Amino acid sequence: ELARRAGEGAEVEMEVGGKADGLHGGPVRARWKVLGLYDGRFQYKGSYMTGLWVDMGPTAVVRSGGVRVVLTTRKTMPFDLEQLRCVGIEPEECRIIVVKSAIAWRAAYGPIAKKVIYVDTPGLCRANLRTFRYRRVRRPIFPLDDM
């Protein structure tokens, strides 16, 4: 909303991210340049849910330093490269793309990735299941315990 009010080309001090819940870490505060404002609508063209229209809600692309971030109003899984193309970003031309997703990204980004780095981010969908405290699980059980 702040990016939209500031307008394309404006610079605005704002916090980005960290709003889902208290488990995922806090927001990042920085001075961001608003590169573009979009309606956030696109159509899946890849191998998953082909033809389905998606609405990310009002969307902004902002930059701080050398990092561009796509800010969406609605959470949208990274199933398709059109998610970036609809906001003027050509994924094949990016040196680095970061997506927060365990598996959904593979069909779209896997074929264009030269290298994949998995990161165990905090929150409900951590890659390392051993970090959670389980109260009603019979042990031992894979992958929580060495078998």
Provide the pLDDT confidence category of residue 26 given band limits of 50, 70 and 90. Answer: confident
* Summary mean pLDDT of the chain: 93
Q: What is the pLDDT of residue 125?
A: 75
Closest CA to 16 of 90, 67, 92, 91: 67
> What pTM does this model have?
0.86
Tell me how far apart the alpha carbons of residues 84 and 62 are, in angstroms, rounded to a whole number.
13
pLDDT per residue over 74-107, tens digit each?
999 999 999 999 999 999 999 999 998 888 899 9
Which residue stretches of 2-145 are H helix? 2-6, 82-85, 106-109
| Residue 24 structure tokens | 């995922």
Q: Does the pLDDT at position 28 exceed 80?
A: yes
Q: What is the pLDDT of residue 124?
A: 76
Closest CA to 131 of 139, 120, 141: 120
Q: What is the pLDDT of residue 142?
A: 93
